[in-house]
Amino acid sequence: MRSQITQILLFTSIGTITRDMFGVVFNLYLRENRFSNQEIGSITSFMLWGSAIVGLVLSLLAETIGRKRVLFVSAFLFPIFNLGMILIPNPGTLNALSFFRGGIGVISQTVVSAIIVHLTESRNRAKVFGLNIGLTTASAVLGNLLGGFFGEWFGLREALYLSTGLYCLSFIPLLRIKIFEVKVAIRQVLDFSMIQREQKNILTLYYLSTLSVGFGAGLFIHFGNLIYKDLFGLSSAAIGIALSIADLGTSAGNIFSHVLARRVGPLQLRFWCELLVVPLMISLIVVRQPALFVLLYTLRYILMNSASPILSTIINSFVPKEKIATLAGINTFLNNSIRGVAAMLFGIIVGASLSGYNLLFSISTAFYALNAVFSFLFLVRYRRHPIVLSLYPNRKDSLPSSE
């Protein structure tokens, strides 16, 4: 079992490194080819809508035709769509390619989460989820650094080709993964009659949180490279370093989140992290000193993402195992749908004026504040639940103080 988890982690790490190599320079490549903010926003929006729609369809197929088969097909198609996006820099074509690339790119995250639940038990699930997300963000550090520096040294187009070629290495661990498949008919996949009332309640709160964060983040998070370029004129290498610092901090937070959660309480930790994001978002509206802005942006990213394994672990432990991939697919659909809408608004809100970023961050702040409310409701309702206590033993059960 341990060797299988190792292969899964290796597969996701290679995929993340190469995807982030591609991602850190692609928008800059489009800007180099004279694409406007609205065109770049549209391409990103189509990618997110593809992640939502195609990703949901593939998550359903994973339950009916087999998870490994879906992983293999998506891994095969992903570099092909990458090449198409490099070779055909046409807005309409890129919209279509981004749509399908987004879907096949996101399915590995959904399927891997379901596999981890089947391979783990309550006593080690939080640790493995934290390790998986931590290694993923650590891989993003390397991907951002390599993409940024290769783009600076060899050119943006060449860096995109290199990342696409390196992605093919993910087939090595993928072929070694042995998955216990439980294939079911599509009717059974779409049958949610076994979902109990308590499970429906926590899923509703979970999905509301997903929508609020998704819209708030979708307004700007996929355009971090453009923000640094527009506001401060940073090079691709400097942008890669800035994004890598954020991923490095998040990686450390993810890996050790289960330790911190046991000390202060998982839902307490999540609430305080997401509450502190709100003043950090406000600071991005007024700060225009490059180093300080990067620091604040990084802290916001670390706090918002370090506690993410906590909620994933709890939700996946609440719902029936046979429904994990389907319910995760629904969450991914909601997340990327709302991000797709938000990404489309990026170019409209920002336009050609740098002052548009102030409005962008202001709107985003409101949705992060709404998410903090949902996080507090999670805390009040579920902090003493037996499932939470079994996942994070030896934890404190006190409500956050009013200091």
Do the domain assignments include residue 191? no
pTM for the full predicted model: 0.75
290: containing domain: 2-169+196-391
Do the domain assignments include residue 187? no
Q: Which range has highest mean pLDDT (58-72, 179-193, 372-386)? A: 372-386
Question: Quick one: pLDDT band at residue 31, thresholds 50, 70, 90?
Answer: confident
Do the domain assignments include residue 301? yes
In tens, the pLDDT along 286-342 reads: 999 999 998 999 899 888 877 777 888 888 888 887 777 778 878 888 988 899 888
Do the domain assignments include residue 183? no
Are 102 and 54 in contact by the 8 Å Cβ rule? The answer is yes
Which CATH number fits the domain that encloses residue 225?
A: 1.20.1250.20
Do the domain assignments include residue 367? yes
Do the domain assignments include residue 235? yes
pLDDT at 4 over 60: yes
- Count the domains in the chain: 1
| pLDDT the model gives residue 77 | 93
